[in-house]
Amino acid sequence: MIAETGLAALWLAAAMALLQLVGGLTLIRGEGRLTPVIKPAALIQGALCVVSFASLMWLFYTTDLSVLLVASNSHIDKPLIFKLAGTWGNHEGSMLLWVSVLSLSGAAIALLEKRIDTRTLQATLAVQAFVALGFFAFLLFSSNPFERLFPAPVEGAGLNPLLQDIGLAFHPPTLYIGYVGLSVAFSFAVAAMLTRQVGPAFARAMRPWVLGAWIFLTVGITAGSYWAYYELGWGGWWFWDPVENASLMPWLAATALLHSVSVLATRNALRAWTIMLALVAFAMSMAGTFLVRSGILTSVHAFAVDPERGSFILALMLMYTSLAFLVFATRIGTVKQGEPFQIISREGGIVANNIFLSVILAIVLIGTLYPLAAEAMGDKISVGPPYFNKATVPIALLLMIALLLGPLLRWRRDELKRYKYWLVAFFAVSLWTGVAIWRFVPGVGIFPILGLALSLALAIAAWVPLKGRNLLRTPLPVFGMVIAHFGLAVSVFGMAAESGFSRETLTALAPGETTKVADWQVKLDDVRPVVGDNWVATEGQLVARNKHKNFVLRPQSRQFYRPEQQTSEAALLTRWNGQLYAVIAQPDENGDGRWQVRLWWKPFVTFIWFGGLLVAFGGAIALLGRMFRRPKKPAVNKWAQA
Amino acid sequence: MKPKHQRLVLAVIAFVALIGAGFIAAAALKEEASYFYTPTTMANAKIEPGKAIRLGGMVQKGSIKRDADGVSITFVVQDRDATQTVAYRGITPDLFVEGSGVVADGRLRPDGVFVADSLLAKHDENYVPKELADIDMNTAEHTKDTLSK
């Protein structure tokens, strides 16, 4: 019964989306008799999606094996949290989550958005429903999560052990809210073009939604990076895996959009530019969904290979993107030219930010799609970290240089000589750091040196916009900006320190033997078998010693059953200045009683994720400021702060 | 600057930046994209030592040899017609066993040994390295077809 309820709710939600769209279409013909249904339909659609998603969670909670999806992805012996999280640990469930978030975003607009005029709001909801409709069709016709299985099996097939981690409970929902939340910016942009309302008022309405989606995306990427770092046991925190790129690309576009929408809201400039970024951002979300869900990639994220589904998502993506760009092409002429500005100005700085982010986005996109294009032509090519690092890091460093000065500049026009002391100070800090590392630490690459040098300068520069302000009267968004930029400095510091100064030891140890990594003496005390809920493991007990203290680390090599698979559970020792990372391997059949142990000392690696969270926290502070400021009349607000 | 010009200038800047991105990407791809080879195609191609490539095939039975340090191994990757010796230092992936498929990322050493930086083994039905999905090393017929292309 529950499965049928869920399916029925999904069909009804699709019907609501259709109603919403039809209501929106009557808008085009002036008054439109059906427009009053749009708002309630959006709310009901959201509620129905909640019912549908809750039904699926219930099926996973009770492990109802008569449902195909549960039978092939869950198992009665699985711990409860993974049963629940398993709802979205598969293709159909994760697509249902995707659509539910899309629907709920629409409902949230209907419920909360009070700043824009009714017509634009209705048009926005209609566009949102139009997008939702395609993905409802995708679910109902090619990825039905509620399909029954007869006869029901006695036990399920189980969940990929790599996914049996607490990260699965939080990472996908967070990322999806960010990903799909960008649909709101897309719908707003298309609607504003249709109703000819592209301007500061529209930008002020759109800004909190972009900010909200961007915060979730930032947290999702940060958490995903840490998850991959400790779960895969490879010691890396970013692999330039296509699936990681799929989440990075919308983030890059959203970050650019976030900055340009501020220019539009405050200064009424960069109109066409902002609209374009809003379209690109959601196009990247859909491209990401296509890459991950189509099965053209092999990855722990790609759950099933089914070419039909891939073509379906590709068709949806191409349709929505090309329709949106068609609207852009036909309507952009009617969007008025914005206010002019000089190159050396806050606007100029933000244009630089947008350009650099777009260039990085283009490089990542090309590198991600190139192997697919080459394969279509019969060549097998892989593009890995060397390409991405070499091509994107220099641009990212340029972006950081622009960021040193950008937030200090005045709107409209400014002069560099006003900042000569700051410029000299930033340059001195960078130069001093760079030369000190280059002189005293041999063998560090140019990128880590530049990264450390610029991140220290940025850590100071980030706070300068607060100088001379009355802190009690400074608006929250300014604090948000300062914190986010400081967070970026912290994160880049961690990345540069990790890539420049990590130390690695790979060796085979018999119990009782000792090895060294960086300043640590590590002794393999003992190795013993451990039994878990649905796995058995070989657990090593390592004692790590630095000058003062002993610490115990217990890395495991786990053997799961159902499905049968081995995973490495790394052991991490976190100190304020870095992490000790330990992995142990399964014994050889013809081994000599020694165990392979791999150790890393990763200085300041935790700064990467701590900085990422600071960036998101800064966003949250800014969002608070935006939400609790009463909407004012545009005329009064014209010269308000950023 | 007149407003009309400003829009034009911005559009030109954006256009130039994207062209620039294309050039950067093309240049980096030329150097860093790594092609996939099987032992046979590798034997027929002249590959410069030091160029990043991927090698895929089956681990020859009885070929895995472990060095005295306990962490370095050499093994032979084979397909139907050719073999290639591979050296690797590190923890091998969980399903790296003799007689099963492997994809190695690495470079050719001047002495002809392929030095792998990373190994990817065939995991299970749900997670097959992409290159091995097409070339099933266990069925000779299929292999022949693929390789004769």
Residue the block writes with tokens 């399916």: A7
* Cα–Cα distance, A437 to A344 (Å, whole number): 33
User: Please, what is the average pLDDT of chain A?
Assistant: 87
Mutate which of B13, B16, B34, B134 to disrupt the A interface (most A C-beta within 10 Å)?
B34
Helix (H), strand (E), coil (C) string for A229-294: HHHHCCCCCCCCCHHHHHHHHHHHHHHHHHHHHHHHHHHCCCHHHHHHHHHHHHHHHHHHHHHHHC
Task: Say if CB B89 and CB A506 are below 8 A apart.
Answer: yes
Mutate which of A160, A243, A387 to disrupt the B interface (most B C-beta within 10 Å)?
A387
Task: Say if CB A525 and CB A543 are below 8 A apart.
Answer: yes
Per-residue pLDDT for A637 more than 60?
A: no
Residues in A touching B25 (Cβ below 8 Å): 362-363, 366-367, 370, 391
**DSSP of B17-41:** HHHHHHHHHHHHHHHH-EEEE-HHH
Instruction: Say whether B33 and A381 touch across the interface (CB within 8 A).
Output: yes
Residues 6+ apart with CB under 8 A from A343: none
Mutate which of B12, B51, B61, B91 to disrupt the A interface (most A C-beta within 10 Å)?
B91
Mean pLDDT of all residues in A572-587 = 89
Q: For A554-573, what is each residue's pLDDT tens digit?
A: 999 888 776 677 788 899 99
Mean pLDDT of all residues in A9-25 = 91
Per-residue pLDDT for A336 more than 90?
A: no
A366: nearest CA partner in chain B: B25
Query: Which pLDDT band holds residue A188 (cuts at 50, 70, 90)?
Result: very high
Per-residue pLDDT for A633 more than 70?
A: no
User: Please, what is the average pLDDT of chain B?
Assistant: 77
Mean pLDDT of all residues in B22-35 = 89
Per-residue pLDDT for B104 more than 70?
A: yes
A509: nearest CA partner in chain B: B70
Per-residue pLDDT for A472 more than 60?
A: yes
Per-residue pLDDT for A602 more than 90?
A: yes
Query: Which pLDDT band holds residue B145 (cuts at 50, 70, 90)?
Result: very low
Fold of B35-148: OB fold (Dihydrolipoamide Acetyltransferase, E2P) (2.40.50)
- Which residue in the set A340, A360, A506 is minimally distant from B71, CB to CB? A506
Q: For A31-74, what is each residue's pLDDT tens digit?
A: 667 778 888 999 999 999 999 999 999 998 888 888 888 888 77
Instruction: Say whether A592 and B70 touch across the interface (CB within 8 A).
Output: yes
- What does the block give as tokens for A613? 């969270």
Residues in B touching A506 (Cβ below 8 Å): 71, 89-91
Mean pLDDT of all residues in B8-27 = 91
Residues in B touching A341 (Cβ below 8 Å): 6
Instruction: Say whether A507 and B70 touch across the interface (CB within 8 A).
Output: yes
Residues in A touching B116 (Cβ below 8 Å): none
Per-residue pLDDT for B123 more than 60?
A: no
* Cα–Cα distance, A221 to B74 (Å, whole number): 37
A567: nearest CA partner in chain B: B94
Burial class (CB in 10 A: 0-12, 13-18, 19+), A637: middle
Q: For A524-552, what is each residue's pLDDT tens digit?
A: 998 888 988 778 888 999 999 988 788 99
B104: nearest CA partner in chain A: A382
Residue B21 touches partner A, C-beta closer than 8 Å: yes
Sorted by where each begins, the domain ranges of chain B are 1-33, 35-148
Instruction: Say whether B129 and A298 touch across the interface (CB within 8 A).
Output: yes
pLDDT computed for residue B142 by the predictor: 33
The crossing angle, in degrees rounded to 10, of helices A385-405 and A446-461 is: 30
Q: For A76-95, what is each residue's pLDDT tens digit?
A: 777 788 888 888 888 888 88
The ipTM of this complex is: 0.81
- Which residue in the set A300, A359, A596 is minimally distant from B21, CB to CB? A359
Number of cross-chain residue pairs from A and B with Cβ atoms under 8 Å apart: 131
pLDDT computed for residue A268 by the predictor: 87
Coil, strand or helix: which one is A59? helix
- Which residue in the set A298, A508, A598 is minimally distant from B127, CB to CB? A298
User: What residues form DSSP beta bridges with A103?
Assistant: none
Residues in A touching B146 (Cβ below 8 Å): none
pLDDT computed for residue B136 by the predictor: 45
Mean pLDDT of all residues in A374-385 = 82
> Within 13 A of A240's CA, how many CA atoms are on the CB side?
20
Per-residue pLDDT for A589 more than 80?
A: no
B127 in a known ligand binding site: yes
Residues in B touching A379 (Cβ below 8 Å): 35
pLDDT computed for residue A342 by the predictor: 84
Mutate which of B32, B37, B53, B131 to disrupt the A interface (most A C-beta within 10 Å)?
B32
Instruction: Say whether A508 and B70 touch across the interface (CB within 8 A).
Output: yes
Per-residue pLDDT for B143 more than 60?
A: no
pLDDT computed for residue A85 by the predictor: 84
Q: For A144-155, what is each residue's pLDDT tens digit?
A: 888 888 777 777
pLDDT computed for residue A628 by the predictor: 75
Mean pLDDT of all residues in A631-638 = 44
A595: nearest CA partner in chain B: B70
Query: Which pLDDT band holds residue A291 (cuts at 50, 70, 90)?
Result: confident
Mean pLDDT of all residues in A257-272 = 91
pLDDT computed for residue A270 by the predictor: 87
Per-residue pLDDT for A335 more than 80?
A: no
pLDDT computed for residue A72 by the predictor: 80
pLDDT computed for residue A419 by the predictor: 87
Indicate the range of A245-254, A485-494, A591-600 predicted with least confidence.
A591-600
pLDDT computed for residue B56 by the predictor: 86
pLDDT computed for residue A340 by the predictor: 83
pLDDT computed for residue A295 by the predictor: 62
Residues 6+ apart with CB under 8 A from A55: A2, A3, A5, A6, A9, A146
Instruction: Say whether B14 and A588 touch across the interface (CB within 8 A).
Output: no
* Cα–Cα distance, A278 to A360 (Å, whole number): 17
Q: What is the CA radius of gyration of chain A?
A: 26
B123 in a known ligand binding site: yes
Per-residue pLDDT for A303 more than 60?
A: no
Residues in A touching B117 (Cβ below 8 Å): none
pLDDT computed for residue A298 by the predictor: 52
Query: Which pLDDT band holds residue B134 (cuts at 50, 70, 90)?
Result: low
- Which residue in the set B3, B7, B20 is minimally distant from A359, CB to CB? B20
* Cα–Cα distance, B9 to A574 (Å, whole number): 50
Instruction: Say whether B52 and A563 touch across the interface (CB within 8 A).
Output: no
Residue B35 touches partner A, C-beta closer than 8 Å: yes
Residue B64 touches partner A, C-beta closer than 8 Å: no
Per-residue pLDDT for B126 more than 70?
A: no
The one-letter code for the residue type at A522 is V
Residue A36 vs residue A398, higher pLDDT: A398
Residues in B touching A390 (Cβ below 8 Å): 28, 31-32
Per-residue pLDDT for A363 more than 90?
A: yes
How far is Cα of residue A632 from the mean position of the Cα atoms in its chain? 32
Residue B92 touches partner A, C-beta closer than 8 Å: yes
Per-residue pLDDT for A591 more than 70?
A: no
Indicate the range of A33-37, B44-48, B70-74, B89-93 predicted with least confidence.
A33-37
